[in-house]
Amino acid sequence: MISHAIARRVRELEQYAPMLTSPVDLDEFWEQTLQQFRAKPLSASMEECPTPMKAVRSYRVTYEGFDDTPLSGWYIRPADADEKALPCIVIFHGYAGSKGYPEDYTQWVSMGYAVFAMDVRGQGGETGSRMPSEFGMSSGWMSQGILDKNTFYYRAITVDALKAIEWAAAQPGVDASRIATYGGSQGGGLVLITSALSEIPAIAVANIPNMCHMDFGILNSESSLKEAAQFISRYPEHFNQVLKTLSYFDMINLADRIKIPILVSCGLKDVVCLPETIFAAYNRIHSEKDIAVYPFDGHYVSPHHNRRTMEFIQQHFG
């Protein structure tokens, strides 16, 4: 039996097309940013870190992205793969999370893939941040540098994520033509923005992604955007500048740059990454795409959808 209420809700979301918030110099900003960091060395190192799992080889990776902060990551491979060039899944975690443990990624390794999972700077992992802060912040990380697009925290973590993909593609044991990006919430937002800005990924999975339709999210969401709302509440004179800064990183303005196959997920009961925000960006993607809509899911990825992401990547990478 079809629920007419749910069908109507999904139909409305599929037609949702809010006004863009693109600043006039959006293209110039990203062209200059990519040019600025293109030649920046990764200064990477790698050491093997054995795990209790005999079928897995894991390595602790340290590299540099936006600045000289040592960024920590796990590089994981099937133990029996030797130096065979494998597809690689580059994984970004959710807000306040971390790269976790190598054991967290065994489903991908058991499928025959390599994994590179990175810490987002300053959050819950082993990675700090050497970014200067010239103005106060609300609680959390995302309001750091929010008065200037060049000093904004999102610019730093976007460059860090782009450099993670670059590191993965450079490994002799990775097939650079078969790199997928994968993440949820904040990680899903990083998947979207790197898919828009990098030519390296071949496919992408953005689960319940953040960084979408942020002018709507800052008003309604229970996500990290609450921190930007708190900042504006404290400094209402900076309201317009905060919204302008966010617009450079908002996937509603960048989604049409995505050229690769992508799978997105959305829970209709999600109050963190609201369905309106996700569909606002998804509807502007013109490449091969699919969105999995879960009417009764909130802000999480169900086992059913985890299986679906595995099938999506296997479909493209074998």
Q: How far apart are CA 26 and CA 1, in angstroms?
A: 46
pTM listed for this prediction = 0.97
CATH of the domain at 65: 3.40.50.1820
Q: What pLDDT is attached to residue 1? A: 54
Residue 47: Cβ within 10 Å count: 8
Q: What is the pLDDT tens value at each position of the chain, 318 positions in all?
A: 567 899 999 999 999 999 999 999 999 999 999 999 999 999 999 999 999 999 999 999 999 999 999 999 999 999 999 889 999 999 999 999 999 999 999 999 999 999 999 999 999 999 999 999 989 999 899 999 999 999 999 999 999 999 999 999 999 999 999 999 999 999 999 999 999 999 999 999 999 999 999 999 999 988 899 999 999 999 999 999 999 999 999 999 999 999 999 999 999 999 999 999 999 999 999 999 999 999 999 999 999 999 999 999 999 998
Q: Is the Cβ–Cβ distance between 274 and 211 less than 8 Å?
A: no
Query: Contact at 8 Å (CB) between 18 and 280?
Result: yes
Q: Is 105 annotated as a binding residue?
A: no
Backbone angles phi, psi at 90, to 5 degrees: -95, 120
Number of structural domains (the chain) is 1
- What is d(CA 259, CA 239) in angstroms, rounded to the nearest whole number? 33
**DSSP tag of 167:** H
Nearest to 301 by CA among 204, 205, 207, 203: 207
Annotation says 215 is catalytic: no
Verify whether residue 185 is a known catalytic residue. yes
Lookup result for tokens 């955007």: 225
User: Distance (Å, rounded) from C-alpha 175 to C-alpha 243?
Assistant: 39
Question: Which residues lie closer than 8 Å to 233 by C-beta, 6 or more apart?
Answer: none
Residue that the structure tokens 């058991």 belong to: 110
- Token readout for 151 is 């000093």
The residue from 119, 250, 270, 297 that is catalytic is 270
Residue type, 129: S
**Structure confidence by residue, pLDDT tens digits, 154-180:** 999 999 999 999 999 999 999 999 999
Nearest to 115 by CA among 303, 310, 305, 315: 310
Which residues face 289 on adjacent strands? 262
Given the residues 93, 98, 250, 299, the one annotated as active site: 299
Range of the domain at 296: 4-113+122-317
Active site residue 270: yes
Residue carrying the six token digits 């074998």 = 318
- Write out the E strands in the chain: 45-48, 56-63, 71-78, 86-92, 114-118, 174-184, 203-207, 262-267, 289-294
Q: Which of 95, 136, 89 is nearest to 114 (CA)?
A: 89
Sign of CA dihedral 264, 270, 275, 278: negative
Q: What would the DSSP string read from start to end of 24-87? A: TTHHHHHHHHHHHHHT-----EEEE---S-TTEEEEEEEE-SSSS--EEEEEEEEGGGTT--EE
- Which pLDDT score is estimated for 310? 98
> Of the residues 138, 185, 223, 247, which is catalytic?
185
